[in-house]
Structure 1
Amino acid sequence: MEIGKIPIEILNEHIFELKTARDDVLLGPDIGEDSAAVDIKGDIAVITTDPITAASSMAGYLSVVVVCNDLAAAGAEPIGVLSTILMPPESSQDEFVQILEEIKEACKRFNVQLLGGHSEVSPIVTKPLIVSTGFGKVQRHMLISTKGAKVGDKIIVTKTLGIEGTLILYNKEKERLRRILTPHEISEIEDYINRLSVIEEGLIARKYASSMHDITEGGLFGAIYEVCKASKKGAKIYEDKIVLSNSVKKVSSFFNLNPYKLISSGSMLITTSEEDDLISELKEKGIGCCVIGEIVEDTKIEFISSNGESILIDKLPIDEIYKVV
């Protein structure tokens, strides 16, 4: 592909032919359009942005998932995404089209509109770089802030930690990992692509949560650190109460990684004083969850290991994924 903007002919074939699928999307992607327009009819608009840097496989799909998860963590229903895609000069048209197809697949799956974006070939990147901006809406009384955690709130984690990180590592080192994983564990990891969204639990939990945070870069330690710092509170987390799948344990152990510092899209951290009602509704929808600790007044963030050791989480961790990818 040549340096510069992606040719209009390619975009016209793969993007501009899309029709807006939602009545509240007034202006979508088209030639020369640099902005999108959405009618939110008095609701609160919620906007977020994120890059995809660690993943190579399914990067386009993940670029949609991560911003939709951010919106869900604020209690917002995702409406649309804008995608900026920078391709290195040595990349092919097929690679670019693959990213577009993955973006479109995710948009269709999660009922969000591709609102537009920007694409070009640039010598400043050495591999495809995708930056997505997500747009959503929420009623004012259901808007959830990261800083809302209160003393006495229980800390709940949905699904199991390490889903995204394990999937990324498996796709990168598939041949090596197949030697240590059972057929069931391989099947489980390959299905993780279908468990990366926290939209459903976010829309459920917004009725009960004081704060929410999707567990992404830095894993559980990163998420609880940000919640506590934003809320000016502390936390006690108990390793014995945390659910990890065997596949996550095995992959983390193989690379000598701490699964609690591993990128974990697909899991939502929720603080709430209504844990029983929340857990009941999550389980009704088939969403697993566990109470792993509580929010405390002392601003110290304490992780109590299975052997009783107290570990302080006193800084934002570097994600374990970067030791491998």
Structure 2
Amino acid sequence: MIGKLDPEALGLVLSRTGASDDDVLVGPRYGEDAAALRVGDETLVVSSDPLSLARKRLGSLAVDVACNDVAACGANPRWLTNVVFLPDDDPETLDAVTGQIDAAAESLGVSVVGGHAEYAPDLSRPTVSMTCMGLADEFVPTGGVNPGDRLVLTKGAGIEGTAILATDFRDELGEVADEHVESAEHFFDEISVVPDANVLREYATAMHDPTEGGVVSGLLEMASAAGLRLAVDRDAVPVRESTRRLCDAMGVDPLSIFGSGALLAAVPEDRVEAALAALHEAGIDAADVGRAVDADQSALAIDGEELREPPRDDLYALWE
């Protein structure tokens, strides 16, 4: 089985926190993108993420995903450590993965400051685990959503998942026009949400980077972290035409596949127009997709259908 732990198993992991420390401002919590640590007068934001799929862009995706989590908390990604596991002695793969890490980090102005690399023959594919650190003037949590906040999504649903379909599953896309497949391949160049977060952190009460499980899981994690019900209009969620074509061909839901490349934010209703205008000014597409509602139990309602448990990412069935 591939993918995240179920909520019960994850709860066990999150409950094991070691020694208490008053300088831990935000520690392990369901739905939160990163930890926040008091270091002197500053807040250090730290996040770790593994990646083993999407082989052709493994190194660059690992950098973007880790940096996205830190940026989504209002921090500026600054330092990275990486752990690289290789299933065998393959110099070409090692060169490709580390070269991608180097180029992606340089493009974001982030320094790789350490890590580890080794061979792990029991693995079926190369794996990278990346830790990103950055400093924030003000930490923006996933769970900061307030009743009445509007929900903003940048760029669109399923950006990373669409790029994976266009590369890992290109031979299975049938009658999808080449122009849509070729367009989707370039979605890998849009995975970073650092620019999106730099704009939205001035307006948002909460931000979250939807990854595995896509926009649906990302919204559910925000709902759970805040203890609120989020109501979303599916038709309001931006989905690119190439995403629709590829997802239809493979029988997957654009809102339930890997969502890196988009940023979710909760914005007070009286500031949402200004936030959307600022994103537009920065050349970033965005839409108001719903609102937060006070409720006794956290949930996500999409067009009236209520969800309480995150779905499994639709792409996992294609790899099995």
* Structures share fold, TM-score greater than 0.5: yes
Alignment check: 8 A CA contact 2:223 2:300 kept: no
Quote the residue 1:156 is aligned against.
152
Runs of 4+ in 1 over 6 A off after TM superposition: none
Q: TM-score, normalized by length of structure 1? A: 0.82
1:233-265, Cα deviation, whole Å (9 max, x unpaired)? 111100121111111111111111111111110
Figure out how many residues of one structure are paired with residues of the other and give that number: 278
Give the structure with higher Rg (CA).
1
How far residue 323 of structure 1 moved from its aligned partner, in angstroms, is: 1.3
Alignment check: 8 A CA contact 2:60 2:101 kept: yes
Q: Which amino acid aligns with 1:73?
A: A
How far residue 314 of structure 1 moved from its aligned partner, in angstroms, is: 1.1
Q: Which amino acid aligns with 1:320?
A: D
1:147-189, Cα deviation, whole Å (9 max, x unpaired)? 1000000000000111101111111122343741242x23421
1:261-296, Cα deviation, whole Å (9 max, x unpaired)? 111100000001121111111000000000010000
Quote the residue 1:85 is aligned against.
84
Quote the residue 1:54 is aligned against.
53
Quote the residue 2:312 is aligned against.
318
How far residue 67 of structure 1 moved from its aligned partner, in angstroms, is: 0.5
1:106-161, Cα deviation, whole Å (9 max, x unpaired)? 0111110011100011223221111000011111xx21011100000000000011
Q: Which whole-Å CA distance do the structure 1 matches of 2:135 and 2:318 have between them? A: 37
SS at match of 2:315: helix
* 1:174 and 2:174 matched: no
Alignment check: 8 A CA contact 1:143 1:206 kept: no
Q: Which whole-Å CA distance do the structure 1 matches of 2:169 and 2:215 have between them? A: 23
Q: 1:149 to 1:41 in 2, by over 3 A?
A: same
Q: Which amino acid aligns with 1:296?
A: V
**Aligned-pair identity (%):** 26
Alignment check: 8 A CA contact 1:300 1:312 kept: no
SS at match of 2:55: coil
Q: Which runs of 5+ in 1 are unaligned?
A: 1-39
Q: Which runs of 5+ in 2 are unaligned?
A: 1-38
RMSD, aligned CA = 1.5
How far residue 41 of structure 1 moved from its aligned partner, in angstroms, is: 7.7
Alignment check: 8 A CA contact 1:238 1:292 kept: yes
Q: TM-score, normalized by length of structure 2? A: 0.84
**Which one of 279, 283, 293 corresponds to residue 290 of structure 2?**
293
Q: Which amino acid aligns with 2:107?
A: R
